[in-house]
Amino acid sequence: MSLFPEKPGCPLVFAAATLFCSLAACSIQPKRPPFPVPASYTLSLEDVLQVPLAEGESGRQRIAASLFEVARYPHAPGTVIGANILRSPITLADGYRLIGIFDYTKIDNFSIDVAQEPCFSVNSAGELTGARRVQVIHGYTNYDVYSIIKAGIELSFTASPPRIKCVSSISIGLVLPLNEPP
């Protein structure tokens, strides 16, 4: 039993109509506005580590804005509790992957979680930033913390097991002056 009547030329008419509708559907797709090159195509993990230390607060804000753009979080309302704004992992221009971006911008800070593959070595991060190991915590979990304060910015990164030689998170915040007693 056929879905189409047995008339000469009917399959050709159906095929022609199908082709016409398919072509028409393709031609009426809305034109997409041109978008700038996404920050993930130009932003590298080295930039994240070096720009805030070189440029101070303006560099920290620029890197935060680029990360928020990559995460499609353009209007960064800021939080105090550190909401993860990244919906899925992203790959930066240098091939390193971010698996979390945490918005603490109401307290002038943000942090990112870095995937362990490919490994961005703690030694490389230390050489790029000048950060030194400041704390080793043992117990339920252990990780090494490296930190540097420069140009009014505190940048710290951690290395966590099982690959203690790889950067696992980076935190970048504004250093607030201490209140001196009167």
Instruction: Identify the helix (H) or strand (E) that includes residue 52.
Output: helix 45-55
pLDDT confidence of residue 176: 78
Give mean pLDDT, residues 18-42. 43
Which residue has tokens 């991060």?
125
Contacts of 150 (CB under 8 A, 6+ apart): 53, 130
Q: What is the pLDDT of residue 28?
A: 39
Q: How far is it, in rounded angstroms, from Cα 47 to Cα 74? A: 19
Tell me if 92 sits within 8 A of 40, measured CB to CB. Answer: yes
The pLDDT value recorded for residue 85 is 82
% residues pLDDT > 90 (the chain)? 41
**Contacting residues for 110 by C-beta, under 8 A, at least 6 apart:** 64, 67, 101, 102, 103, 104, 171, 172, 173
Q: How far apart are CA 78 and CA 80, in angstroms?
A: 7
Q: Give residue 8's pLDDT band: very low, low, confident or very high (50, 70, 90).
A: low
Q: pTM score, two decimals?
A: 0.71
Residue 13 has pLDDT above 60, yes or no: no
Token readout for 138 is 């043992």
The tens digit of pLDDT for each residue in 127-142 reads 999 999 886 665 556 6
Of residues 159 and 160, which shows the higher confidence score?
A: 159
In terms of Cβ atoms closer than 10 Å to its own Cβ (0-12, 13-18, 19+), residue 155 is: buried
Q: Hey, what amino acid is at 161?
A: P
CA distance 86 to 92: 13
How do beta strands 143-150 and 153-159 pair?
antiparallel
Residue 56 pLDDT > 50: yes
pLDDT at 182 over 60: no
Half-sphere exposure of 60 (CA within 13 A, CB side): 24
At 70-126, the pLDDT tens digits run 887 766 666 656 678 888 899 999 999 999 998 887 788 899 999 989 999 999 999
> At 171, is the pLDDT very low, low, confident or very high (cuts 50, 70, 90)?
very high
Distance CA 87, CA 149 (A): 30
H helix or E strand, kind and range, residue 158: strand 153-159
Question: What is the pLDDT confidence band of residue 177, given thresholds at 50, 70 and 90?
Answer: confident
